[in-house]
Amino acid sequence: MRDEFAKIDWLKTRLALNGDSSAVLVGIGDDAAVIDFGNRPTIVTVDTQVEEVHFRADLLSPRELGYRAVVAAASDVWAMAGIPSASVIALTLRDDFSDDEFRDLIDGVADAARVTGARVIGGNLSRGSSLTVTTTVFGLPISKSLTRSGARPGDSIYVTGTLGAAALGLAILEADRLDIERARKFAERWKKPPLNGKAAAVLARIATAAVDVSDGCLQDLEHLLTASGVGAVLHAPAVPTAPGYQAACVALSIDPMVLALSGGEDYELLFTARESAEAAALGTRIGEIVEGTGSRVLDAAGSAIELGRGGFSHFS
């Protein structure tokens, strides 16, 4: 089981709930779990940022890491149409991690906790060979929790913000090409994920399904399609990218469409909904849900483009 998602499928089977599981409203396999503790449902998600897997310490300051870790976890709650309400943080610190770096890391966590609403209420400190930040965020559904499984043929597919900018920013930093026009803007986009709390409130009213774009648009869309038992058609010319994105990709010899659809770490929200002015105001329409399985990407002439699935996998 070298594939990350094969591991998740096996875990889902191995850890299947026995007996009375009526309190668990959403279990393994979505952006977050939802459990009813007896008063009202609570959304629970956990995310880990591991040095040399999710970030390089020479590309991301401790304060930036703390902020990024909390917002990335909160994004799962927003994808479930929820409001982050609290968090617990587990830190593994290297022996050479200084007190100043530790304070900066916590300042970043505090900054993100304030703007997301996921105030820190506890956690754990440990020592280890690499720096890790594990963030558990709790949230409250705005109405009913939104999952990946509600998409139906006839729904349109939308995405908030733009795609590919974060992956481009990382590529710029790794290549040390801050000389590229708008390079710092893209680098900042990778370091600082967007805040989609306001989008979550709209999703609660109009969306049929949603997923947060963390591993790449095509890969995350595939999770939604599998959960909903449907297929999709995407229109490449409609995929939204930031100003200067195409030129910066060319400067790095990167295919802009491949990066936009498979780059990952955008932390935007991909959602399905009936076509409407409200949906169009929230995101860009990039395709539609159809009968069948899997997704097809079409060019401006309507011909299929083979891009591969791409996306991030921890065990590839």
Q: Do 50 and 91 reside in the same domain of the chain?
A: yes
Query: Phi first, then psi: what are they for 148, rounded to 5°?
Result: -85, -5
Number of domains in the chain: 2
| pLDDT in the model for residue 314 | 45
Which residues lie closer than 8 Å to 306 by C-beta, 6 or more apart?
none
Report the first-to-last Cα separation within the chain, whole angstroms.
10
Structural domain ending residue among the three candidates 141, 175, 195: 141
* CA dist., res. 292 & res. 294, Å (int): 7
CATH number, domain of 191, equals 3.90.650.10
Give the pLDDT of residue 311.
Answer: 56
Residue 147 forms part of a structural domain: no
Q: Is residue 53 part of a domain?
A: yes
Q: What is the CATH number of the domain that holds 103?
A: 3.30.1330.10
Chain mean position to CA 19: 32
Can you say how many angstroms the Cα of residue 245 is from the centroid of all Cα atoms in its chain? 20
Q: Say yes or no: 68 and 181 in one domain.
A: no
pLDDT for res 20: 58
Task: Report phi then psi at 22, rounded to 5.
Answer: -65, -20
Contact assessment for residue 232 and residue 296, using Cβ atoms and an 8 Å cutoff:
yes
Instruction: Classify residue 137: in a domain, yes or no.
Output: yes
| Domain contains 268 | yes
> Do both 28 and 161 map to the same domain?
no
Its domain, for residue 281, covers 156-305
pLDDT tens per residue, the chain (316 residues)? Answer: 666 667 767 777 777 766 556 688 887 778 899 999 888 899 999 999 999 999 999 999 999 999 999 999 999 999 999 999 999 999 999 999 999 999 999 999 999 999 999 999 999 999 999 999 999 999 999 998 999 999 999 999 999 999 999 999 999 999 999 999 999 999 999 999 999 999 999 999 999 999 999 999 999 999 999 999 999 999 999 999 999 999 999 999 999 999 999 999 999 999 999 999 999 999 999 999 999 999 999 999 999 998 765 554 444 5
Same domain, 98 and 164: no
Does 113 share its domain with 206? no
Q: Say if residue 118 is in the same domain as residue 252.
A: no
Rounded to whole angstroms, the Cα distance separating 295 from 130 reads: 38
Q: Are 209 and 146 in contact (CB under 8 A)?
A: yes
The H or E element containing residue 212 is strand 207-213
Query: Does residue 119 sit in the same domain as residue 194?
Result: no
| Residue 137 and residue 181 in one domain | no
Q: What is the DSSP letter of 194?
A: P
Please spell the DSSP secondary structure of 99-121, one letter per residue.
HHHHHHHHHHHHHHHHHHS--EE
pLDDT at 17: 64
300, 160: one domain: yes
Are 254 and 206 in a shared domain?
Answer: yes
Q: Has residue 149 been placed in a domain?
A: no
| Separation in Å, CA 89 to CA 19, 69, 129, 131, 192 | 31, 10, 18, 13, 18
Instruction: Assess whether 164 and 300 both reside in one domain.
Output: yes
Q: Give the orientation angle of helix 183-191 with respect to helix 165-175, to 10 degrees.
A: 110
DSSP assignment string, 251-284: HTT--HHHHHHH-----EEEEEE---HHHHHHSE
- Tell me whether residue 312 is in a domain: no
Asked if residue 311 is part of any domain, the answer here is no
Of the three residues 115, 141, 167, the one that is the final residue of a domain is: 141
The reply to whether 300 falls in a domain is: yes
The last residue of a domain, from among 110, 141, 172? 141
235 and 122, same structural domain?
A: no
